[in-house]
């Protein structure tokens, strides 16, 4: 900063001529000298102030006015109380406008509304709290979608004034597209049959039967007196109990975080933290970032976290294994039985060998060769169509379910 911006006005009394001579002898610049009776008013560079005081101990010297930036600094210093009141009021207004007092969930389905409310509570999106940033809301919506991918198509959380507006679209699971190409439904793995639902085709198995992988479950061949009269695209669902022997490895000890409920708000002004760390472990969430006179101010919330260490057990291992099977089955089955066969402990992990029974969809498809389709009698196509769709025809008239066997 140049000297033009660092000058002060002095009022000098006593030995005025001697004061001026001393300044000239010591190369001290004097500006705008004005005489007033027994005193002079003079403008000097601030860097020369201490030198003047030392050389002119016989004169009475008093600073009467600051010039340039120094004058601004003096004004700020003299009015610091009012500036702080205005600054705090400004920060308070920003906090108030970012305070959430209501959450409106818009959806016609009450079940979806309950699901969204539970997910919002789980992610700490609540009334009477400071609003999250756009990035934080985006992260929360992605997490809700990931946790409910089978139920929700999309989720939107928007801040409108002092409330959140939450919208969502329910996911409609489309049924498997039915192929018109002639085929059999066969077993995808060894299993004990627990349920057979036939929509089209000739059911060859019943509940309680044991089948090997590749066994035809619902045939697309339409027979009459043991003679194949036509082919169709077999359609339906067959469920069975399937046996697995699986392994899972888990750590002996796991750490988890638990919010204690203690929190406070802090400021980061110009990359300097206003309040020192109060909690040993805490999560930091940005609330708002503003600029005042070019100075960046970040307002954020610190929430105390308690680190909890727990030893793992058989129940934890089985729950981890269940998660793996749930992903693999993808909603088409579930574990019905689990038993630990063997457990091996290492330095930091435990390895389990587990016997598992699932009840799952065992459908697989075997499409007919061209030769199979050419062997049918063309003159009986209408009869074949009636036989292939018998279940549908009778259901429509009598409300009778055919080909369904449940355990």
Please determine, for residue 274, whether its predicted confidence score (pLDDT) is greater than 60: yes
- What was the pLDDT predicted at 379? 40
Is 220 within the bounds of a domain? yes
Q: Which domain holds residue 295?
A: 256-309
Would you say 353 and 339 are in contact if contact means Cβ atoms under 8 Å apart? no
Residues 69 and 138 in one domain: no
Is 82 within the bounds of a domain? no
Residues 231 and 335 in one domain: yes
Please determine, for residue 69, whether its predicted confidence score (pLDDT) is greater than 60: no
* 175/236 Cα distance (integer angstroms): 11
Is 83 within the bounds of a domain? no
Q: Is 330 left (phi over 0), alpha (psi -120 to 50) or beta?
A: left
253-269 and 272-273 beta bridge pairing: antiparallel
Mean pLDDT (whole number) for 216-245: 89
Residues 188 and 284 in one domain: no
- What was the pLDDT predicted at 394? 47
Residue-wise pLDDT for 306-349, tens only, equals 888 888 899 999 999 998 898 888 889 999 999 999 999 888 89
Tell me how many domains the chain contains. 4
Is 291 within the bounds of a domain? yes
- What was the pLDDT predicted at 68? 52
- What was the pLDDT predicted at 350? 92
Residue-wise pLDDT for 287-307, tens only, equals 666 666 667 777 777 888 888
Please determine, for residue 132, whether its predicted confidence score (pLDDT) is greater than 80: yes
- What was the pLDDT predicted at 399? 43
Last residue of a domain, one of 170, 194, 213: 170
* CA angle (168 as vertex; 166, 169 as ends), nearest 5: 165
349-361 and 163-170 beta bridge pairing: unpaired
Residues 125 and 236 in one domain: no
Mean pLDDT (whole number) for 371-381: 51
Q: Is 331 left (phi over 0), alpha (psi -120 to 50) or beta?
A: left
Residues 297 and 192 in one domain: no
- What was the pLDDT predicted at 364? 92
Greater pLDDT, 81 or 392: 81
Last residue of a domain, one of 286, 309, 332: 309
Max Cα distance, the chain (Å): 138
Number of neighbouring beta carbons within 10 Å of residue 277: 9
CA distances from 393 to 179, 370, 387 (A): 20, 28, 10
Is 85 within the bounds of a domain? no
Q: How far is CA 225 from the centre of its chain?
A: 62
- How much is the mean pLDDT over the chain? 79
Would you say 106 and 165 are in contact if contact means Cβ atoms under 8 Å apart? yes
Please determine, for residue 404, whether its predicted confidence score (pLDDT) is greater than 70: no
Which residue stretches of 98-168 are H helix?
Answer: 110-122, 134-147
Mean pLDDT (whole number) for 230-239: 91
Mean pLDDT (whole number) for 379-395: 50
Can you give the CATH number for the domain in which 147 is found? 3.10.20.310
Mean pLDDT (whole number) for 123-145: 86
Greater pLDDT, 178 or 254: 254
Least reliable range by pLDDT among 87-91, 150-154, 278-282, 347-351 = 278-282
Can you give the CATH number for the domain in which 55 is found? 3.30.70.260
Is 1 within the bounds of a domain? no
Mean pLDDT (whole number) for 259-286: 72
Is 89 within the bounds of a domain? no
- What was the pLDDT predicted at 401? 37
Bridge partner residues of 379 (DSSP)? none
Residues 161 and 269 in one domain: no
Residues 396 and 329 in one domain: yes
Question: What is the helix (H) or strand (E) element at residue 280, kind and residue range?
Answer: none
Residues 220 and 113 in one domain: no
Would you say 250 and 349 are in contact if contact means Cβ atoms under 8 Å apart? yes
Q: What is the pTM of this model?
A: 0.47
Please determine, for residue 406, whether its predicted confidence score (pLDDT) is greater than 70: no
Question: What confidence tier does 186 reach under pLDDT thresholds 50, 70, 90?
Answer: very high
Residues 16 and 111 in one domain: no
- What was the pLDDT predicted at 261? 79
Residue-wise pLDDT for 11-35, tens only, equals 888 888 888 888 888 888 888 888 8
Would you say 312 and 349 are in contact if contact means Cβ atoms under 8 Å apart? no
Residues 215 and 362 in one domain: yes
Residue-wise pLDDT for 35-54, tens only, equals 887 888 888 887 887 788 77
- What was the pLDDT predicted at 70? 47
Residues 56 and 113 in one domain: no
Of 33, 6, 5, nearest to 19 by C-alpha is: 33
Is 92 within the bounds of a domain? no
Number of neighbouring beta carbons within 10 Å of residue 52: 21
Residues 301 and 323 in one domain: no
Burial class (CB in 10 A: 0-12, 13-18, 19+), 226: exposed
Mean pLDDT (whole number) for 217-234: 86
Of 99, 103, 131, 130, nearest to 117 by C-alpha is: 103
Please determine, for residue 189, whether its predicted confidence score (pLDDT) is greater than 90: yes
Last residue of a domain, one of 116, 139, 170: 170
* CA angle (310 as vertex; 307, 316 as ends), nearest 5: 130
């Amino acid at each position: 900063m140049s000297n033009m911006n660092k000058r002060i006005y002095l009022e000098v009394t006593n030995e005025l001529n001697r004061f001026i001579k001393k300044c000239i002898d010591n190369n001290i610049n004097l500006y705008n000298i004005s005489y007033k009776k027994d005193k002079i008013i003079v403008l000097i560079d601030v860097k020369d102030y201490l030198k003047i005081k030392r050389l002119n101990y016989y004169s009475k010297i008093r600073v009467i006015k600051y010039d340039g930036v120094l004058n601004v600094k003096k004004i700020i210093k003299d009015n610091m109380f009012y500036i702080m009141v205005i600054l705090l009021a400004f920060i308070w207004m920003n906090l108030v406008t970012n305070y959430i007092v209501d959450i409106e969930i818009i959806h016609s389905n009450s079940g979806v509304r309950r699901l969204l409310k539970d997910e919002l509570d789980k992610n700490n999106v609540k009334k009477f709290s400071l609003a999250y940033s756009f990035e934080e809301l985006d992260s929360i919506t992605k997490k809700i979608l990931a946790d409910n991918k089978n139920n929700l198509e999309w989720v939107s959380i928007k801040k409108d004034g002092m409330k959140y507006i939450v919208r969502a679209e329910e996911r409609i699971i489309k049924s498997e597209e039915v192929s018109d190409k002639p085929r059999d439904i066969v077993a995808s793995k060894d299993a004990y049959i627990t349920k057979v639902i036939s929509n089209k085709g000739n059911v060859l198995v019943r509940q309680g039967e044991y089948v090997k992988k590749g066994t035809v479950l619902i045939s697309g061949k339409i027979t009459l007196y043991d003679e194949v009269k036509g082919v169709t695209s077999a359609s339906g669902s067959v469920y069975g109990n399937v046996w697995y022997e699986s392994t899972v490895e888990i750590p002996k000890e796991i750490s988890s975080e638990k919010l204690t409920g203690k929190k406070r708000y802090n400021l980061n002004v110009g990359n300097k933290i206003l309040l020192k760390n109060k909690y040993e472990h805490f999560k930091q969430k940005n609330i708002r970032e503003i600029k005042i006179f070019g100075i960046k101010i970040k307002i954020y919330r610190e929430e105390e976290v308690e680190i909890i260490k727990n030893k793992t057990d058989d129940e934890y291992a089985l729950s981890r294994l269940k998660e793996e099977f749930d992903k693999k089955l993808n909603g088409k089955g579930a574990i019905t039985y689990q038993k630990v066969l063997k457990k091996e402990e290492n330095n930091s992990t435990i390895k389990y060998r587990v016997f598992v029974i699932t009840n799952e969809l065992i459908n697989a498809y075997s499409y007919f060769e061209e030769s199979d389709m050419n062997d049918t009698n063309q003159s009986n196509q209408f009869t074949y169509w009636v036989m292939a769709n018998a279940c549908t025809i009778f259901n429509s008239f009598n409300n009778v379910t055919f080909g369904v066997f449940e355990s």
